[in-house]
Structure 1
Amino acid sequence: MTDEQDARARELIERAAAKWPLRILHVLSDAGAPLRFSRLMERVEGISQKVLTQTLRTLERDGLIIRTLYPQVPPRVEYELTPLGRDLLMQVAALWRWIVERLGDFDARKAVRLTVAGV
């Protein structure tokens, strides 16, 4: 792997692991059909309109979602996962399961650190 490829991969991981991208991808996956912006706003609790817009643009630029504009009055825009987006979710799900299965190990290690620190 070149330094440039490594930097690009790290950039993509950091963007995907940010607060909202995986949540948005998960909501789109659960919907099983394209969703309008307003439906996404309802289902992604706590996100602002501005952040949702920015995140959707980034996900589209990265090829993880498709934005479809329907030329009608008023214009209708829908978002859906691409095959690449679905594949990313499947890979993340494996990591998620690994972490969940080991939460007890992480908690035990944290308890040991707290005990050693005298907390």
Structure 2
Amino acid sequence: MDSETQKLLRSSTHMFDHVLELPFKSDAEILVREHSDYFRFIFATEDFGEGVWAQPIEIYPGVTKIVIRHSNVVEMPVDELGLDFWRFRLPASARPELANAVYKNGELIVTVPKEEEVPPFNSGCFRNCTIL
């Protein structure tokens, strides 16, 4: 990456330290629950089965994206991940390296732990999510 590209990435105001990306279209309706020590994302789907996991990927130094992988799908290389996936920007208190995903009773459930409470975070919803 040349220095001009790096400078542009550092100054991009739309970038966040942590982002969760779910393998659903950006207009999918995801239930988002925030607790004092974690975020939980729930989506009813029949497209998953056993063998689901959360994978944190450092996409730029200090910038981590959490993607959901599952054994039912041939994995795409990181550089080929789509642009129209559902995303949620996570606060600095999120611990992406501890994120986990399970598929249970027809629901994909992703949990992202948080560090001790920091000042309130403004909703990370881009669209079509409900925060409880």
TM-score (norm 1): 0.28
Q: Which has the higher contact order (CA 8 A, sep 6+)?
A: 2
TM-score (norm 2): 0.26
Say which structure is richer in helix: 1
Structure number with greater Rg is 1
Say which structure is richer in strand: 2
